[in-house]
Each structure stands twice: as structure tokens, then as C-alpha cells.
Amino acid sequence: MLVVTTVDKGREAVRDAQRLGRIVGLVPTMGALHEGHLSLVREARRRCQYVALTIFVNPAQFAGGEDYAVYPRPLEADLAACRTAGVDLVFAPEVGTMYGPDAKTTVRVASLTEVLCGPRRPGHFEGVTTVVTKLFNILPADLAFFGEKDYQQLTVIRRMVADLNLPIEVVGCPTVREPDGLAMSSRNSYLSAAHRRQASCLSRALFAARDAAAAGQRDVQKLVSAVRKTILDAGPADVEYVEIVDAATLQALAVIDRPARICLAVRIGPTRLIDNVAVDAGRAGD
């Protein structure tokens, strides 16, 4: 496994692989790797002959007062996990490599970033789209793999790639969950034991709403109320939002009459957690 920190070496490694006829898969991460990340690596390994993974805690996607300074950075453990998983290239740049002192260019996707997490994390998605565009240019892979747990991010990146005619295919991969249903996240490490037990209410609430929709409940307000009740019955929590949105546009729905996502963001203790599930609109009554 090759580990590089410079733009030129990363780009050269990807282009060398492509010159040999290999399909290159890219897995962008902020490190603190867990099974969710490794599932992306496995899918990349299945579909590609060369797998590149990035480890970069991107300061531009953290809003003021968020956890950039304390975000976990276990680089040696991450590299060991990458070797075991069969990663060919790890690109782990410093902040100064990714952002020059006079950088003035950003990438913004309108509309999709103005709902759900967007208003609650000012500048977050602009930071995401800017750094992902840079990574796609530095490591010009054929496919890029992202988890559906960050469904809004996945949708935004797909839109950006389409709008900018970027020559890369974005592949969404299913959310990986703990045995009790909690979506895997690097931020789960912030949860105390009591908060960790409480956090299982999020997936329980989402799965119950999904099943109710599949059984024919189309009324969004009733489904959202049920999700909120399940979460708040489990213990003190700050429910930032629970929304059911059009799966393509992320616009809020009043009635489930098309492919949709039930999305939520909840703070349990000091930890902000997000999750979502797809709604089978085809089975939600007719």
C-alpha cells in the first residue's frame, strides 16, 4: 500500500494505475475508520482493480463551534485498517496542501443544501463540495463511493458531478449499522454508555415509520409525530429535525406519493447524530 501526502504523487499513482488499464475507485473519508468506511472499500474492491482512500479532516466543512479540533485522528490505526482491507493508495494531505493561503474558490450547490442539515450547519456543504471537487481533481478516479447514511451529502455530490460534467461515477452504498440498529459513525465514539444505549431509539423510530409507510400510511405529519415520540420517550434529546423528503430533490413532502427519505438529526447529550431510511412509496397504499 502506497501512502502519499502530496498532490503530485497522489495524481501520478492514480494515472499510473489507469495507464495499466485498471479501473480506479475512490473512497473519500475524514479518517477514524469504522466498518461503514470499510464496507465502501469492499464495494470499491469488488468493482475496481485499484482502490484509493483519502484521509483528510476538512476544516472547511466544520461550522463555528463544531468539533474540528477534537475530531478523532487515529492515523496509524486507519492505515492498518486500510492495509487489511486491501487499499492500494492512501492520500493523507495536510491542510496546507489542500488549501493554499490565498485560496478564493469554492463550489456551491444551490437548493439541495438549503434544507435539512444545511440551515443548521452554515457553510458545511460548501466545504464538502469544495473539498470533494478538489479530491476528484487530485485523484482522477473512475468511481467514487459514498455511504447513504449521509444521504443529503450523497445527493448534493451527485448533483454537483452532473452539473459540472465531472468524469466520475458516484456510487451510493447502504448504511452500515451496529447490532442494535445505530448507524455507524465516527462521532459515535463521543457517546457515553448511557447515551449510546439511548441512541438506538433513532433507528427504531425510523424503521417503525418506514414499516408504517409501507403498510399504507401516507400522512407525513402522523409519521413524523410518531418518530419524534419514539425518540423523546427514550430520554432527553434535542430533535433538530425529522422530515420526510422527496428522495431526489430533498424537498419536504406532506403526503408520501413518490420515492422518499425519512431523515433526522438529533442531539443526544453533546453528540449530533444523523440517520435516514428510504420509504417504499410503491407499497405505501394506492
The cell numbers describing 255, all together, are 403526503
Domain ranges across the chain: 2-173, 186-278
- Of 274, 263, 262, 273, give the one whose Cα is nearest residue 195: 273
Specify the amino acid at residue 238: D
- SS3 state of residue 234: coil
Question: Is 281 a residue whose pLDDT tops 90?
Answer: no
* Catalytic member of 34, 37, 124, 195: 37
Amino acid at 80: A
Predicted model pTM: 0.96
User: What's the mean pLDDT in 26-38?
Assistant: 98
The yes-or-no verdict on residue 280 having pLDDT over 90 is: no
CATH fold of 186-278? Pantoate--beta-alanine Ligase; Chain: A,domain 2 (3.30.1300)
The fraction of the chain above a pLDDT of 70, given in percent, is: 98
pLDDT tens string 81-125: 999 999 999 999 999 999 999 999 999 999 999 999 999 999 999
The answer to whether residue 22 scores a pLDDT higher than 80 is: yes
In the predicted model, what is the mean pLDDT of residues 119-140? 98
Mean pLDDT, residues 266-271: 98
Report how far residue 113's alpha carbon sits from residue 102's, in angstroms, rounded to the nearest whole number. 26
Which segments of 148-213 are extended strands (E)? 169-173
Q: pLDDT tens across 143-185, in order?
A: 999 999 999 999 999 999 999 999 999 999 999 999 999 999 9
> All 3 cell numbers of residue 11?
495524481
pLDDT score recorded for residue 286: 36
Confidence of residue 285 (pLDDT cuts 50, 70, 90): very low
Annotated catalytic residue 124: no
How many Cα atoms within 13 Å fall on the side-chain side of residue 165? 0
Taking the C-alpha atoms of residue 153 and residue 8, their distance in angstroms, rounded to an integer, is: 27
CB 25 within 8 A of CB 141: yes
Q: Which CATH superfamily is domain 2-173 in?
A: HUPs (3.40.50.620)
* 212 has pLDDT over 70: yes
